[in-house]
A and B are shown apart, each in its own frame.
Chain A
Amino acid sequence: MGYALDFGWLNDAVSLIASGAAMTIFLITVSAVAGIVLSILGAAARRSRHAVLRRAIAGYVELIRNTPFLVQLFFIFFGLPSLGIRLDPVVAAILAMTLNMTAYTTEIVGAGLDAVPKGQREAALALGLRPRLVFIKIVLPQALKVIYPALTSQIVIMMLESAVVSQIAVRELTYEADMLQARTFRAFETYFIITLVYLAMSIGLRRLLIAGGNRMLAGGVS
């Protein structure tokens, strides 16, 4: 083999990789929080009395779940400016990630809501709680407990998928990798290291979320 692996460039690259990783973590944090809040609203609306609302949310979920994230990203970043909506790359990335995340988590949260026994709702109503309080205090906490592992997986998947936003020049981990390999001509070594960083981040994120879930949700994750 005439090729010797060279990791000599790594010393100077650590700070760039760290800042890229920080950007990736920032993106996933914002879109995960926004996505989960929106999907709770979405799942509740999908079970509401308004047929139009129900159908609109079902359509949105199907549209997002049946098209690639990359196309959604391009549509938002390149397509929307022709309607006069010009977005900063980071904003476009967060918007695309949140919209994508919400579609998947709406289904997950919905499954959780359906899994809560009907008697819980009826018991709470019988105690005189208002319907909104019944949802927030009784149904939602039980639903979240059931779906927490699925939410965790979805957040990790979204974090890995965020590698794609490098294509609209958001300076996250993959973008920094592209820049590094263009400068060092060590493409394989660069992507190898960045892949390891992603692997460590996905393992770390999963552990963190499970530990956090065990602490926050009463009685741990079921």
Chain B
Amino acid sequence: MIEFTLWDIVRNLLLAARWTVLLSAVAFAGGTIVGLLILFLRISKRRWMRQFAEYYIGLFQGTPLLMQLFLLFFGLPLLGFRIEPWTAAVLGLTLCASAFLAEIWRGGVQAVPLGQWDAGSSLGLHYLKQLRLIILPQAFAITRAPTVGFLVQLIKSTALTSIIGFEELVRTSNAINNATFEPFTVYGFVALIYFALCFPLTRYAKVLELRALKY
């Protein structure tokens, strides 16, 4: 049997954590882009667009992320796409993140006083310019804390992609555990690594929240 030292375990876990970080970053970036799209639909003047965005958000917030990942992983091949765990993981987390982010930002947009829209129109700005120059900057400023808070949630959610076979931190830790039979140490370290990733962000969200309260 190959001997694993503590350093071997930690080193392999840290190497695997890179994939967790990468997946979180890609999914957050993707979620931001798709989330903006959903946000535009959600605050649109057309009823059917709002309705669609509402159902979209309700669907992703009302079903387990694990099921969303399974559906993508098993469903996309039926449509003729070759799909790897990485693709399904990125796609699943992106879509899920977009729903949550759109809902957070919608709260921000609604918190901007209506007078701001009116002021924009009276300056002769059209709808998209009002959004881009006046409404969205304020909405994002208000929702900075919950957005960072959601990033923490997203990092934790990447753990689920181990179940569809993506080689990130948890899946690697399962493999190491099967080789070393030291679950207490292995999962303890995994928890520590996640904590080290998430705790600074949680703190930062708290700082942002306190700063927002001052105004």
Query: Residues of A with Cβ closer than 8 Å to B?
Result: 1, 3, 62-63, 65-72, 74-75, 78-83, 156, 160-161, 163-164, 166-167, 174, 177, 181, 187-188, 191-192, 194-195, 198-199, 202-203
Contacts and interface: CB of A to CB of B under 8 A. Distances in A.
Nearest to B66: A163
B43 to A, nearest CB: 22
Contacts of B70: 177, 187, 191
Interface of B: 59, 62-68, 70-71, 74-75, 78-80, 152, 156-160, 162-163, 170, 173-174, 177, 182-184, 186-188, 190-191, 194-195, 198-199, 202
B70 to A, nearest CB: 4
Contact of B177 (A3, A69, A78, A166): A78
Given A67-B195, A203-B62, A198 B159 contact: no
Contacts of A181: 74
Contact of A70 (B71, B162, B184, B195): B162
A79 B66 contact: no
A23 to B, nearest CB: 14
B99 to A, nearest CB: 13
A188 B71 contact: yes
Classify the interface of chain A: helix, strand, loop or mixed: helix
B74 A68 contact: no
Contacts of A198: 62-64, 67
A67 B198 contact: yes
A187 B75 CA distance: 8
Contacts, number: 117
B63 A199 contact: yes
Contact of A167 (B67, B163, B191): B163
Given A78-B177, A78-B187, A66 B67 contact: no
Given A75-B187, A188-B75, A192-B71, A70 B160 contact: yes
A63 B188 contact: no
A188 B187 contact: no
B64 A75 contact: no
B203 to A, nearest CB: 9
B64 A69 contact: no
B130 to A, nearest CB: 32
Contact of B187 (A71, A163, A177, A202): A71
6 contacts: A66-B199, A69-B156, A79-B188, A160-B63, A163-B67, A191-B67
Given A161-B64, A164-B160, A195-B71, A71 B79 contact: no
B187 A164 contact: no
Given A1-B80, A69-B156, A167-B163, A195 B194 contact: no
B183 A79 contact: yes
